[in-house]
Amino acid sequence: MLLITGGAGFIGSNFVLDWFSQRNEPILNLDKLTYAGNLQSLSSLEYNKNHLFIQGDIGDRTLIRSLLNEHKPRAILNFAAESHVDRSIHGPEDFILTNVNGTFHLLDEVKSYWSDLPADEKEAFRFLHVSTDEVYGSLNKYDPAFSETTAYSPNSPYSASKAASDHLVRAYHHTYGLPTLTTNCSNNYGPLQFPEKLIPLVILYALDGKSLPIYGDGQNIRDWLYVGDHCSAIRTVLDKGQTGEVYNIGGDSEKTNLDVVLTICSILDDLKPAAQPYSELITYVTDRPGHDRRYAIDAHKIESELGWKPAENFESGIKKTVDWYLTNDKWIDNVTSGAYKNWINKNYSKRENV
């Protein structure tokens, strides 16, 4: 059995669904069900006896201890995190509580559990920590991409909290011998993503005829990774990764935010034409504080050592993503509730057009 934390969130739920499409090994799925955790994303597993869902917090040591002792997982995959930069700017404390304190409590309980395992189970055990490229900071246009040896230089409360969690994982491996694996991924996109993030937000705003807000000049660059590729990479690291190592996972698809929005507009023009081109809805708004200019991932290590590379390019992945949002109205209606609308109003209502 695997213990998945944060398995009702965007990447976590995609991983759980992907896992069961490939394998039959049971999953114990622990998620706090904050605003971004959505059991509807896992509705296809309602009658799957190999999927056991528990609502709970990774910071709840008593709960973690009881789950480990009862279910005896062979691996823990830690997806649980607060992950939105804008939210971390408005309220950083939740990010410290979950990403730093929560990861510490989880690690400490896992260490105790692992220490008492029989020798063969102890040797086979893995703790895989899912992190982000944002811990490395920001790149200039012509800087080389982030590698696993790039110095950490986080610039937002979110990335600082993830950097702290990465350091804790590293420390638990080097101090206690806990067999850890860390992955640092680039920007994910795809089905089931909560629509506070750029790609689903633009899709839904465009369909509603609303202005499409782009921060600053729209030239901030990200490496875009289709979530299905991320799931396959994590499975590869779990199966083949060397304990104590870090593996960067990227989509080899650097795009400016403006290019991303224009691509979505073009796809929607073809699939669901409106009275005017969707690109005419684009507006430029005040940039967010400390907005990193560019992220880029060098994924040579995972390709050369473990044989993984992405199956999707941005063009194929974004078409699949737009199509999913066009055909899943019920899921969208349920997540874009009052709480979502309140957040959107808080984050965008006071941004001036530029």
CA distance 147 to 203: 32
- Rounded mean pLDDT, 282-307: 94
Asked if residues 302 and 170 have their Cβ atoms less than 8 Å apart, the reply is no
Q: Give me the domains of the chain, ranges plus CATH numbers.
A: 2-196+222-252+290-311 (3.40.50.720)
Q: How confident is the model at residue 334 (pLDDT cuts 50, 70, 90)?
A: confident
Report the relative pairing of strands 254-256 and 221-226 from DSSP bridges: antiparallel
Residues 6+ apart with CB under 8 A from 320: 190, 191, 226, 312
Asked if residues 10 and 229 have their Cβ atoms less than 8 Å apart, the reply is no
pLDDT higher than 60, residue 343: no
- Rounded mean pLDDT, 275-303: 94
pLDDT higher than 90, residue 134: yes
CA distance 24 to 27: 9
pLDDT higher than 60, residue 338: no
Percent of the chain whose pLDDT exceeds 70: 95
pLDDT of amino acid 344: 43
Select from 195, 214, 304 the least CA-distant residue to 255: 214
Q: Which residues pair with 223 in a beta bridge?
A: 254
- Rounded mean pLDDT, 5-33: 97
Cα–Cα distances in angstroms (integers) from residue 309 to residues 102, 191, 316, in the given order: 31, 20, 15
- Catalytic (active-site) positions: 133-134, 158
